[in-house]
Amino acid sequence: MKLELRDVSCGYDKAKPVIKDINLTLKDGDVCCILGPNGVGKTTLFKSILNLIPPLSGQICIDGKSVSSLSRRNLSDQMAYVAQAHIPAFPYQVREIVMMGRMGKLHLAGQPTRRDYEVCEQALEDVGIRHLRDKVYTEISGGERQLLMIARALAQSPRILVMDEPTANLDYGNMVIVIECIRILAEKGLCIIFTSHTPDHAFMTKAKTALLFRNEPMVFGTCDEVVTNRNLQNAYKTDIQVLEIMTPDGETTKVIHPRFHR
Amino acid sequence: MKLQNEEIRLTWQSDKRKERQNLTLLFGGTILVFLFCMCFKFDAFRYESKFVPVDNFKSLLLPHLSDKGSIEYLGAVARLRVTLVSFISGGALALGGAIFQTAYRNPMASPNILGATSGVSLGNVLAVSMFSLSALQHIELRYILCYGITFICLIVVFLLGKLAGGKKSKNSSVLEMVMIGSIISQGLGTFTMYLMYNLEEEERLVYQQLTLGINMQSSFVSMALFFSVMAISIIPVVIMRYRLNSLGFESEEAQSLGLYTSATRTVAQFCGVLMVTASMIHCGQIGMISLVIPYAVRNIVGADFKKVCVFSFCLGGILMMLCRLVSTLIGVLGEAISVIPIVNIVLMPAFAIVLAKRNREVI
C-alpha cells in the first residue's frame, strides 16, 4: 500500500487555501506524526485525505488511485478515521460500538455475521480492552474510550489509520497507553497518520514527521530530521530545545523541553 | 495476540444465547398478555358482559366449523381487532419515538416535532367542521384529511429544512428541522384551536371522541387502512433495524465508516411519522409512550437499535393492550374513559422509577 499526497492544497476557498504544497508518501507500517501550531490546517488536511472535503489542487492517491474516485465504501475499506472526541448519544456497550465499524460492509438490511464478530473481538484484543467488551461506553475511562475508537476503526480492517489528536484530553498514563497502541499497530503493518500538539510523540513513535508552519512550506522527513530546535522554534514561535537523553536501559532518545526565561 | 477460533466461538455462543433468552422472554410475555387481553372475562365481576367469553374464541380458530353470523363469532372478531389494533398502535408509538430519539440524538425527541400530532388534530377538527355530528360516519374522508395534512406538513418541514441547510449542505440540519417542525406545529395548533372554538357543543364532543380515541373504528375500511399503513411503515424499519444505529452518527463519522445516512434518515423519519400518525388516528393522541418506552428500553437492554426496535415495539404494544383493557373495563362499569389518561397514569410513576434507578447507578 502506498499513500501519496502530490502538491496538495486544502481548504474551503480556492483563493485562500488553508494549507498548500503538501507532498508526502507513506507505506505499510509507517507512522506519520503531523505537528504544527493551532489553526495551521492539520484537521483540514485530514479531511482532505479522508475525502470529506476535496483538495483545492493536487492529488491524494492510494496505490495510484485518487481517493476522490473511490466510493465511500471502498475508501472506508482502505482508510479508517479516529476522531478527536466522540460522544455517543446513547449508552452503547463497548462491543456494540466496535461492531459499528463493520456497518459499512453490511447491506442495508444486513445483520452482523460470525465473521464480523470475529473481526471485532480481534480488534478489541489488539488494543487490549477485550475485558471491557460488556461495559457501557459511559462507564469506561477517557483512555479506554480512545482505545475503543481505535478498535472500532480497526474493525473496518483498514490499511491506513487516520487519527486526529488521539491523545488530546488524556492523562499521562492513558497517553502512554495510546502511544504504545500506535507503535504495536504499526509493527503489525498498519500505516498510521496522526496529529499531535506534543512533538515528543514523534520520537515516541519513531514517526516520519510533517511539521506545518503558518507562512512557510511544510517540512517532512524522519523525526530526527524534522523535530529540531530551529524548526520547533520557527513553528511554535517559542524557545524550545530538543534534548538527547540516555534511558536506564542504555537506549538514546530525544525529549522536548521549553526554555523558560522568567 | 491472535485469538483462538474456539475462544471466539464460545463468546459468540454465549452472547447469542443471552440474546435468544431475552427475546424468548419478550415474545412469550407479549403472547401471554395478548391472550389475557383477548380472553379476559369482564362478567367475572358480575356486570353484564358486553364481551366474548373465552370459549367463544374457538370460532376464531375454527372458522369453517362456526356460524359466521353468530354473535359469538362477530364478538370474537371485534375483540381480536381491538386487541390487535391496540398492540400495533402502542408498538408503533414506541417504535416511532425510538426512531426519532436515535435520529436526533436526543431522548426527548418524538415524531410530533415534525407535525404528526398537529396534522391529525387539524384533520379531525376539519372533519367535524365539515360533517358536523356525522363525522364519525365519514371515516374515509377523515382519514384523507388527517393523513393528507400530516403528509403535507412533513414534506414542508423536509423542504424548508433542506433550504435552511444551504446549498453546500446535502442534509438538513437537525436543529433547523426541529425549529421548522415546531413553528409549523404551532401554526397548525392555532388554526385547530380557532376551528375548535367555532364548533357547537355536541360537535366538540365528537371532536373529543376522535382525538381521545374513545370510539375505536373497526370497520373493514378502517382496519384495511390501518394494517396497510402500519405494514408500510413498520416493515422497512424492522428490516433496517441494525443499520438504523447509523442515524446517531455525525455526518463525518458516518462517511468515514463508509455509510450513506441521508437516505436512511429520510426513510426512517418518514416511516416514524407515518406509523405514529396511524396510531393517533385510530387510537387517539397518546404522546407519552413515544417518550417513555424507548427511554426505559435503553436502560434495560442497552442502546443497540436492533434490540431497542424489537423491545420498544413489544413493550409499547403490551402497555397499550393492558391500558385498553382497563379503559374497557371502566367502560363496562359505566364510565366511558379514554385510554390516554390511563397510559399517562401508568407511565408517569414508571418513568420516575426508571429515572431514579438510573440516577442511583450513576451515583
Rounded Cα gap, residues B272 and B210, in angstroms: 21
Nearest 10 degrees: Cα torsion B215, B219, B225, B230: 60
Asked whether residue B103 is assigned to any structural domain, the reply reads yes
- Burial class of residue B337 in the structure, from the number of CB atoms within 10 Å of its CB (0-12 exposed, 13-18 middle, 19+ buried): middle
Asked whether residue B9 is assigned to any structural domain, the reply reads no
CATH number for the domain that contains residue B269: 1.10.3470.10
| Full DSSP string of B30-78 | HHHHHHHHHH--GGGGTSPP-S--GGGGHHHH-GGGS-TTSHHHHHHHH
Asked whether residue B26 is assigned to any structural domain, the reply reads no
Cell of A162: 487516520
End-to-end CA distance of chain B: 36
> Which of the residues B257, B259, B267, B307 would you substitute to probe the A interface, choosing the one with the greatest number of A C-beta atoms within 10 Å?
B257
Rounded Cα gap, residues B105 and B172, in angstroms: 15
Cβ distance of A109 and B239 shorter than 8 Å: yes
Q: Which residues of chain A have pLDDT under 70?
A: none
Residue A179: predicted pLDDT? 93
* CA R_g for chain A: 19
Asked whether residue B33 is assigned to any structural domain, the reply reads no
Asked whether residue B211 is assigned to any structural domain, the reply reads yes
Asked whether residue B116 is assigned to any structural domain, the reply reads yes
Residue B173: predicted pLDDT? 67
Asked whether residue B1 is assigned to any structural domain, the reply reads no
Phi, psi of B359 (to 5 degrees): -65, -40
The yes-or-no verdict on residue B59 having pLDDT over 50 is yes
pLDDT digits (tens, 9 = 90+) for B69-106: 677 677 778 788 888 999 999 999 999 999 998 888 88
Instruction: Name the helix (H) or strand (E) containing B229.
Output: helix B220-239
Cell of A209: 514527521
Nearest 10 degrees: Cα torsion B51, B54, B56, B61: 120
CATH number for the domain that contains residue A24: 3.40.50.300
User: Chain A residues with CB inside 8 Å of B302's CB?
Assistant: 91-93, 96, 136
Rounded Cα gap, residues A222 and B62, in angstroms: 82
Cell of A186: 504499526
Phi, psi of A2 (to 5 degrees): -135, 120
Q: Which of A72, A89, A93 sits opposite B258 (nearest CB)?
A: A72
Neighbours of A67 (CB within 10 A): 21
Rounded Cα gap, residues B147 and B119, in angstroms: 8
pTM exceeds 0.90: no
User: Chain B residues with CB inside 8 Å of A52's CB?
Assistant: 252, 255-256
- Could you give the number of structural domains in chain B? 1
Identify whether the C-beta of residue B358 lies closer than 8 Å to the C-beta of residue B299.
Answer: yes
Rounded Cα gap, residues B104 and A103, in angstroms: 19
Identify whether the C-beta of residue A44 lies closer than 8 Å to the C-beta of residue A20.
Answer: no
User: Which range of residues forms the domain containing residue B178?
Assistant: 40-362
pLDDT digits (tens, 9 = 90+) for B126-176: 999 888 888 777 888 888 899 999 999 888 888 888 887 665 555 556 777
Identify whether the C-beta of residue B240 lies closer than 8 Å to the C-beta of residue B264.
Answer: yes
Give the closest-approach CA distance of B7 to chain A in angstroms: 10
Output the furthest CA–CA distance in chain A (Å, rounded).
Answer: 64
* CA R_g for chain B: 22
For residue B324, which of B40, B29, B61 has the smallest C-alpha distance? Answer: B40
- Burial class of residue A69 in the structure, from the number of CB atoms within 10 Å of its CB (0-12 exposed, 13-18 middle, 19+ buried): exposed
Is the pLDDT higher at B64 or at B360?
Answer: B64
Cell of A139: 462507564
Give the closest-approach CA distance of A58 to chain B in angstroms: 21
Identify whether the C-beta of residue A127 lies closer than 8 Å to the C-beta of residue A104.
Answer: no
User: Which range of residues forms the domain containing residue A147?
Assistant: 2-258
Rounded Cα gap, residues A39 and A42, in angstroms: 8
Asked whether residue B25 is assigned to any structural domain, the reply reads no
The yes-or-no verdict on residue B336 having pLDDT over 80 is no
A65: β partners: A62
pLDDT digits (tens, 9 = 90+) for B235-289: 999 999 999 988 878 778 888 888 888 888 889 989 999 999 999 888 888 878 9
The yes-or-no verdict on residue B35 having pLDDT over 80 is yes
Q: What is the mean pLDDT of chain B?
A: 83
